[in-house]
Amino acid sequence: MRAAVYEAYGPPEVLRISDVAAPEPGHGEVRVRVHASTVNRLDCHTREANRSNGAAVSLLSRAVSGFRRPRRPILGTEFAGVIDRLGSGVTRFKLGDRVFGNTGLRFACHAEYVCVRETMRMTSMPANVAFDAAAAATDGAFNALWCLGQAHIRKGRPVLVYGASGAIGTAGVQLAARHFRAEVTAVCSTKNLDLMRTLGATHVIDYTREDFTENGRTYDVIFDAVGKHAYQRCKGSLNDGGYFLATDGFRNLMLTLWTGRIGKGRKVRFTLPPKYSQADLELIKRLMDEGRFQPVIDRRYALDDVIEAARYVETQQKTGNVVLTIAAAAT
């Protein structure tokens, strides 16, 4: 099979398309013919061993992925495709099922085939959802659910999503507005203001023209979907008992411990490792089926153009998700 592989850490150029042996499903596994995957920030950080985040984080990244070279040479955590082989003992799925899911740190989705345990985060695709949308459905939504679920959001309460135009942000706006039923304020650049309204935001703020920390409005929850804000800067915009939800930054681990000890005041929430469940995936599937969640896709690239796709993700200018098209849809 054809796959995008890398054998050393580094920039996008370490990736190459190679012919490798197709995997065979073991006991309790299915093999999926992958129609679409994504290139996301976990792929990019893992490929460069998190060098951009400093020596300490890079060392931790290598401890997980391999100190000298990658243990798993094929990246890609999200997939959508069709089951073409069954291992022994499989009961949840059958040949020909259209499925989507997330392999997490097992990666391996930037390839024509991937083997997945039937007990992992995988489920059948909604009938009205295309492969590219299903492939882009999990990473941003998993992260958004992981964060928003820590804030005990009540219907109608004010929630601000900072960095609302990325994969996590676009999912966060939709989930906060359409699942948690909050009153959502989305903070993004000028070009994405209209998009935020279509995703369910009640209010939008153009960060190039307005600093939300200085407009006098306050929120029960401030969700930093891009890991670029700081609790100290925005705590004055939090209501008493409010939550600052972080997606990145070891400083936020310490703040989580510190603010958790000071009673009913404002709190930081950032937990590692993130926990994603099959229940989360089934919720995402139901919301997609009901039309209450639709992954935003910025660009689509062929597998052969994976280097270009990775370069674009690293610009940090994408809106929503970048999809990698691997196989033509079944006819």
Closest by CA to 109, choosing from 23, 209, 191, 232, is: 23
Predicted confidence at residue 268, as pLDDT, reads 84
Cα separation, 285 vs 234, whole angstroms: 34
Q: If we measure between CA atoms, which residue out of 166, 136, 135 comes closest to residue 247?
A: 166
Question: Which long-range contacts does 277-283 make (Cβ < 8 Å, 24+ apart)?
Answer: 277/121, 278/121, 278/123, 280/121, 280/141, 280/142, 280/145, 280/146, 281/101, 281/102, 281/121, 281/122, 281/123, 281/138, 281/142, 282/123, 283/145, 283/179
- Rounded to an integer, what distance in angstroms lies between the CA atom of residue 146 and that of residue 162? 16
Rounded Cα–Cα distance for residues 116 and 53 (Å):
31
Name 83's bridge partners. 32
Looking at residue 64, its pLDDT comes to 82
Confidence of residue 331 (pLDDT cuts 50, 70, 90): very low
pLDDT for 66 equals: 80
Please state, for a pLDDT cut of 70, what percent of the chain lies above it: 93
Asked whether the beta carbons of 184 and 173 are under 8 A apart, the reply is: yes
Grade residue 52 by pLDDT with cuts at 50, 70 and 90.
Answer: confident
* Number of C-beta neighbours around residue 138 at 10 A: 31
pLDDT tens track for 20-42 = 999 999 999 999 999 999 999 99
Average pLDDT of the residues of the chain? 91
Spell 148-162 as b/e; 16+ CB within 10 A means b: bebbebeeebbbbbb
Tokens of 263: 């009673």
Name the pLDDT band for 264 (thresholds 50, 70, 90).
low
Domains, the chain, ordered by start: 2-138+295-325 (3.90.180.10), 140-269 (3.40.50.720)
What are 325's two structure tokens? 């098209």
Helix pair angle (167-178, 139-148), 10° resolution: 50
* pLDDT confidence band for 214 (50 / 70 / 90): very high
Residue 154 pLDDT > 60 = yes
For residues 324 and 110, give the distance between their C-alpha atoms in angstroms, rounded to a whole number. Answer: 8
Confidence of residue 164 (pLDDT cuts 50, 70, 90): very high
pLDDT band at 330 (very low <50, low <70, confident <90, very high): very low
Reported as a pLDDT band with limits 50, 70 and 90, residue 249 is low
Given a cut of 50, whether residue 271 has pLDDT beyond it is yes
Quick check: 129 and 156 in contact, CB under 8 A?
no
pLDDT value at position 193? 97
User: Cα 175 vs. chain centroid, distance in angstroms?
Assistant: 13
- Regarding beta strands 321-325 and 297-302, do their DSSP bridges make them parallel or antiparallel, or are they unpaired? parallel
Whole-angstrom distance, CA of residue 263 vs CA of residue 71: 44
pLDDT value at residue 254: 57
* 21 or 65: which leads in pLDDT: 21
pLDDT score for 329: 46
CA-wise closest residue to 102 among 64, 132, 135: 135
